Amino acid sequence: MSSLALLLQGLRHYGRIHLAVALGVAAGTAVLTGALLVGDSVRGSLRDLTLERLGAVDEVVLSGGFFRQELAGELAASEEFRRHFGDALPVILLRASLLNPQLTATEGPAGASKARGFSGRVNVLGCDERFWKGAAHAPKKIPGSDEVVLNEALGKELGVEVAQDVSLRLPAAQSVPSETTFGEKTENKANAILVTGKEGRTEPSPAAAGVVARLLRPTLADYGVEIVKTERGYLQVISQALVFSPALEEAVLAALKEDGAQGALAYLANYIAAGKNGEAKIPYSIVAAVDFSSQPPLGPWRDIDGKELSPLAGEREIVLNQWAFDDLNRQLAAAEQKLAIGDEISLTYFLPEHPGGRAVETTTTFRLAAVVPLDEGSPARDADFTPTVKGVTDQRSIRNWKAPFPYHQERVRDEDDDYWTQYRATPKAFVSLRTGQELFGSKRFGRLTSIRLPGEGRTADEIAGKLGPRLEPEKLGFRILAVKRDGLAAAAGTTPFGGLFVAFSSFIIIAAVTLVGLLFRLAVESRAGEVGLLLATGFSRRKVRRLLAAEGFVVAVIGGAIGVAAGAGYAWLMLYGLRTWWVDAVATPFLHFHSTWLSFVVGGLCGILISQAAVWSTLWFMRKLPVRRLLAGQATPDSPLTAGRPRISRIVAAASFVAAIGLAVVALWQHGQAQAGAFFGSGVLVLVAGLAAVWGQLRVGATGRVATPGALPLVRLAVRNAARHSGRSTLTIGLIASAVFLIVALSAFRIEPVGDAREIELAERLAQLRERRASDAEIGIVSARLNEQRELLKSGGTGGFSLVAETGLPVFRDLNDRTVLAEAGLQTADIERLKGGTIYSFRTLPGEDASCRNLYQTRRPRILGVPKDLIDRGGFAFASSAAADEAQRKNPWLLLNASAGETKGGKPYVPVVMDMNTAMYSLHLYTVGSTLDIEDDEGNKVPLRLVGMLANSTLQGDVLMSEENFLRQFPQVIGYRFSLVETPPERTAAELRTIQHSLEAGLVNFGFDAERSADRLREFLSVQNTYLTTFQSLGALGLLLGTFGLATVQLRNVLERRSELALLRAAGFRRRRLAGLVMLEGTCLLVGGVGVGVAAALVAVVPHLVLGTAAIPWLDLAWQLTVIVVFGFVASLWAVRATLHAPLIAALRGD
């Protein structure tokens, strides 16, 4: 005989109850393991998706401009490249819009059919046959010159089949920023390189990191830079982008400093004017900003009298060439005026940047400092100051200019064309470089059009050879994106789904652990006599505990092993749910089962450990039970019915109830989530009060006399029996009540978006009233209601905007300008419909969608520049903000204009606003004041500080900063790609649809893609609501498991009282009546639990119902609770069965 033998015999003899315990452990372990496997599956599926989307592409080299296709070949030729990668493919990568001409012609872009016939933001890849080589889904035939290959999803969106026509709207291939005055189209060859992996669709090796950056060696041509020797003999560095980007300017000037390089900026003046009232004017003249160098061939500069010019000292001094001076004088002579040195000259020109897409003309006045000759030897006679602009400098006549800015041909005189014929683009006026850069330069786009250096004894190639190696690709527009590595890293996911599903399944886990505790206790209690005997025969309590714990451990290990296997099934079920019932939580049904050993091990161990905790707590409760009591077969402490009156429980009940009322009153003054939280807290306190009251009542015996005449003696007896073990019964009631409370009360957190349906309804009513010429009073009432509704919407999730729109291509002009809309092709009637509305356009730095719809980890969120008008307008609901004064509290958007402090290094933080969900769940910024660093295109860190969080808004997924700060941080970003459309008041549903269609149709060339704000918000909120549904569903599943606990408690009660029940039978109780008694006991606990839970939940939910802020799925809840109650009754039958089958004689004998 040994302890081991005793252990094994115990396991065998009590096999049935141990099996029940093991199944409880299995349930808990399965849920834990399954939840972890859900996390594995989400990560694995995101990984698969990344690999499938990228195929063999490991890295992408992107350029702001076009470069030689050969650059890819040069990159791939390196031996080091071949060691790590497969190939480098030159491609053209553009954002475009696609149309199905048949569908859009008949239904409009937002037609009612499932296929929209239109997609505004399509990534278009121009590639050759090398791209398709080895691709998993290559087309049977490589597309020809007028053919495209679409992916399936896009095909469905467009509603096209193979061989059908689609219309592709591509942007003009730009080398000049369109927002600058000279912006125009040029052609190039490739703007991206796809670097494929060595082994195709696999994870890139860590050793490959940084290889492409090291090996990429663009030539000057690839940067769009050219060095030419001019007719005058000097060398000139020019950029295909017309103006040098600040980074290029800095790099070239630094590299060629010792070579005497100096910058020049040529700009177009719409007018050069002179005279008291500007009577003399020369249209469309080039003004050059130069350093007046004294060295040939860039100098020396002399005036018409041969006197050498020193650099212009004054800020507003100007030099005219002889022709311009004479021309102005000729015109002034008619007005009997004469131009002389020292007189005023005014220049009228467009501002170099066009905020809001509007070309703004301005005039600056100068003092005429000198007049320079136009003879052959003069440095002023130099047409090379002006860079080549297609459609302008290559035209024979000024009148033929195809200018990308507002151009008035009628201003051009014959004299001007004569000058153009003779001198081409030779500047007519000169200012100092400093003045020119100040007036005509752009910090965003550049401040030089050429960099000149003496060419004597040097060739362009020599300078190119010197300059090339000094230029750094990543600073000059080349971006190397490790797309696969970053994608796989991001596949770790924003949301830790493993943890999330552990949390969602927490109630099942709690129920399983409670069940394990109850079952184990049942097992131990049924062996109380054995425990007493072991203690009496000299076993120490510790040894007895260890023996029982060892049994529990063996059972837990067996249960854990079953649970680990069942965990895969649970995970499969959850994944099925995420692909079907809860698909809104993950946007698309892409999840497939994936597993890691770690999840199985961690899930199994956690399940076993948690179960062991339940076992040890049971043994802990028994640690001080007298041996005598144990020997008598009693495993519970002194009978509660003989204990003192439970004052503490009554105090707890009363205090909790008072606190609940207090919190509910406080909640009335709260808003949004804070209010929901306060009411929820109030409900929790009512739950505590209810359970304390139940416990107190059970402790004193629960009912009056059982044997008194009157109704329901059996019910009274049942309640009294339930009260015999007040702790046990309260635990059961508490478990059920908590689950019911959570399931019902969480409904209050479901948010129904406040859409514009009510507004539209009122607008339509108003239209009807006007149509039937109703009284002014009647119209006034509805109109007032409509205004109230609009104000409500303005401070809601949509901000009062009816449409949210994004464009595939940047829009450079102000969409509120009727002429712009007319030029874009909108019909007059459509433009009229927009009257009274406003389109707010946002600058956009492309980035990842940081909304809850994107499961990938966000590394670089999209950034929007909020226009000043919108900041002033305000709107949207703020969950929290750093508002410091009344104005900011009233309109927290103003914080975007305020200072947000500095980093330790003295760099100012850029104030930003985000949706709360984006901040908290995607970017992990939990409070206002949190900071975040992002990188601009040149890799510089931009420190951001969160100054406000929007509550459940349509702006989820983006980081919002003021347009002013946006332009400062991202000067290279051009145009507007995101818009919020505030439609005119009093528009009906039909009008709203028409506005949406007409904007999409009119702005189709930009890929203008509009969406109803309410729909967008509903989509965002459906993610949150689906998570709640998931939690509620799993909570209900946990509650079902909890009903087994109820049955266990009843079974324990029956087993403990088997002799008593036998006595009742001996005394004449029929089996059925006893069964009824036991059933009633279970019903008391079930009804008590559901009742307390529902009562507490109503406290949390009803206020939201009254306020109309909750969307409670009553039907689902009713279903769930009904199933739970029915299941509870069924589980009670287990105990009833034990009662019916108890042997009478043996029970009476105490066997």
- Of 539-568, which residues contact another protein (CB under 8 A)? 539-543
- Using CB under 8 A, pick the residue from 161, 231, 336, 537 that binds another protein: 537
| Long-range Cβ contact pairs of 967-970 (< 8 A, separation 24 or more) | 967/444, 967/843, 967/865, 969/910, 969/936, 969/942, 970/843, 970/845, 970/863, 970/865, 970/936, 970/937
Q: Are 213 and 109 spatial neighbours (Cβ–Cβ below 8 Å)?
A: no
Give the CA diameter of the chain. 139
From 371, 270, 259, select the one nearest 326 (Cα to Cα). 371
Q: Contact between 770 and another protein (CB under 8 A)?
A: no
Q: Contact between 16 and another protein (CB under 8 A)?
A: no
- Give min distance, CB of 700 to another protein, in A: 11
Question: Of 548 and 733, which has the nearer Cβ to another protein?
Answer: 548
Which among 353-361, 534-542, 680-688, 750-758 is the span making contact with another protein, rule CB under 8 A? 534-542
For residue 1126, the cross-strand partners are none
995 residue type, one letter:
I
Q: How far is CA 773 from CA 760, 776, 779, in A?
A: 20, 9, 9
1107 residue type, one letter:
L
Q: Contact between 10 and another protein (CB under 8 A)?
A: yes
Question: Of 10 and 275, which has the nearer Cβ to another protein?
Answer: 10
In the chain, what is the straight-line distance between the N-terminal and C-terminal CA atoms, in Å? 25
- Give min distance, CB of 1060 to another protein, in A: 17
Structure tokens at 776: 């002014």
3-state secondary structure of 308: strand
Which among 43-51, 531-539, 949-957, 1071-1079 is the span making contact with another protein, rule CB under 8 A? 531-539
Tell how far CA 927 is from the center of its chain: 17
- Using CB under 8 A, pick the residue from 538, 704, 709, 905 that binds another protein: 538
Q: Are 100 and 150 spatial neighbours (Cβ–Cβ below 8 Å)?
A: no
Question: Of 394 and 1060, which has the nearer Cβ to another protein?
Answer: 1060
DSSP state, 921?
A: I
Total number of residues that touch another protein (CB under 8 A): 33
Place of tokens 């770690």: 598
DSSP string, 517-572: HHHHHHHHHTTHHHHHHHHHTT--HHHHHHHHHHHHHHHHHHHHHHHHHHHHHHHH
- Give min distance, CB of 523 to another protein, in A: 13
Q: Exposure pattern of 783-808 as b/e (b: 16+ CB <10 Å)?
A: bebbeebbeebbebbbbbbbbbbbbb
- Give min distance, CB of 619 to another protein, in A: 15
Which among 10-18, 580-588, 758-766, 1064-1072 is the span making contact with another protein, rule CB under 8 A? 10-18
Q: Contact between 859 and another protein (CB under 8 A)?
A: no
Question: Of 638 and 832, which has the nearer Cβ to another protein?
Answer: 638
Question: Of 398 and 523, which has the nearer Cβ to another protein?
Answer: 523
Which among 93-101, 637-645, 685-693, 741-749 is the span making contact with another protein, rule CB under 8 A? 637-645
Q: Are 797 and 951 spatial neighbours (Cβ–Cβ below 8 Å)?
A: yes
- Using CB under 8 A, pick the residue from 137, 156, 330, 628 that binds another protein: 628
Question: Of 18 and 447, which has the nearer Cβ to another protein?
Answer: 18
Q: Contact between 627 and another protein (CB under 8 A)?
A: yes
- Give min distance, CB of 541 to another protein, in A: 6
Q: Contact between 536 and another protein (CB under 8 A)?
A: yes
Tell how far CA 449 is from the center of its chain: 40
- Give min distance, CB of 647 to another protein, in A: 15
From 680, 684, 661, select the one nearest 672 (Cα to Cα). 680
Q: Contact between 532 and another protein (CB under 8 A)?
A: yes
Question: Of 159 and 532, which has the nearer Cβ to another protein?
Answer: 532
- Give min distance, CB of 538 to another protein, in A: 2
- Give min distance, CB of 535 to another protein, in A: 7
- Using CB under 8 A, pick the residue from 631, 1063, 1095, 1102 that binds another protein: 631
- Give min distance, CB of 12 to another protein, in A: 7
Question: Of 541 and 1018, which has the nearer Cβ to another protein?
Answer: 541
The span from the CA of 1083 to the CA of 715, in Å, is 10
Q: Contact between 535 and another protein (CB under 8 A)?
A: yes
- Using CB under 8 A, pick the residue from 206, 306, 469, 644 that binds another protein: 644
- HEC secondary structure over 899-911: CCCECCCCCECEE
Tallying the residues shown for the chain, one arrives at 1151
Q: Are 293 and 301 spatial neighbours (Cβ–Cβ below 8 Å)?
A: yes
Count of Cβ atoms closer than 10 Å to residue 11 Cβ: 15
Q: Contact between 534 and another protein (CB under 8 A)?
A: yes
The span from the CA of 405 to the CA of 401, in Å, is 10
Q: Are 618 and 48 spatial neighbours (Cβ–Cβ below 8 Å)?
A: no
The span from the CA of 820 to the CA of 812, in Å, is 10
Q: Contact between 6 and another protein (CB under 8 A)?
A: yes
- Using CB under 8 A, pick the residue from 139, 406, 589, 626 that binds another protein: 626
Q: Contact between 569 and another protein (CB under 8 A)?
A: no
Q: What is the H or E stretch that residue 204 is in?
A: none
- Residue 26 neighbours by CB under 8 Å, 6+ apart: 559, 560, 562, 563, 566, 607
Site string for another protein, 219-258 (x = CB under 8 A): ----------------------------------------
- Using CB under 8 A, pick the residue from 9, 113, 363, 768 that binds another protein: 9
Q: Contact between 1150 and another protein (CB under 8 A)?
A: yes
Phi-psi region of 958 (alpha: psi -120 to 50; beta: other; left: phi over 0): beta
Structure tokens at 875: 């709107």
- Give min distance, CB of 582 to another protein, in A: 48
Question: Of 5 and 207, which has the nearer Cβ to another protein?
Answer: 5
Q: Contact between 530 and another protein (CB under 8 A)?
A: yes
Place of tokens 């030029």: 823
684 residue type, one letter:
V
Q: Contact between 647 and another protein (CB under 8 A)?
A: no
The span from the CA of 274 to the CA of 282, in Å, is 9
Q: Contact between 12 and another protein (CB under 8 A)?
A: yes
Question: Of 469 and 538, which has the nearer Cβ to another protein?
Answer: 538
Q: Contact between 1 and another protein (CB under 8 A)?
A: yes
Question: Of 17 and 1010, which has the nearer Cβ to another protein?
Answer: 17
Site string for another protein, 290-309 (x = CB under 8 A): --------------------
Q: Contact between 206 and another protein (CB under 8 A)?
A: no
- Give min distance, CB of 19 to another protein, in A: 15
Q: Contact between 522 and another protein (CB under 8 A)?
A: no
Which among 38-46, 627-635, 708-716, 1103-1111 is the span making contact with another protein, rule CB under 8 A? 627-635
Q: Contact between 643 and another protein (CB under 8 A)?
A: yes
Cis peptide before 297 (omega within 30 of 0): yes
Question: Of 151 and 639, which has the nearer Cβ to another protein?
Answer: 639
Return residues touching another protein (CB under 8 A): 1-6, 9-10, 12-14, 529-530, 532-543, 626-628, 631, 642-644, 1150
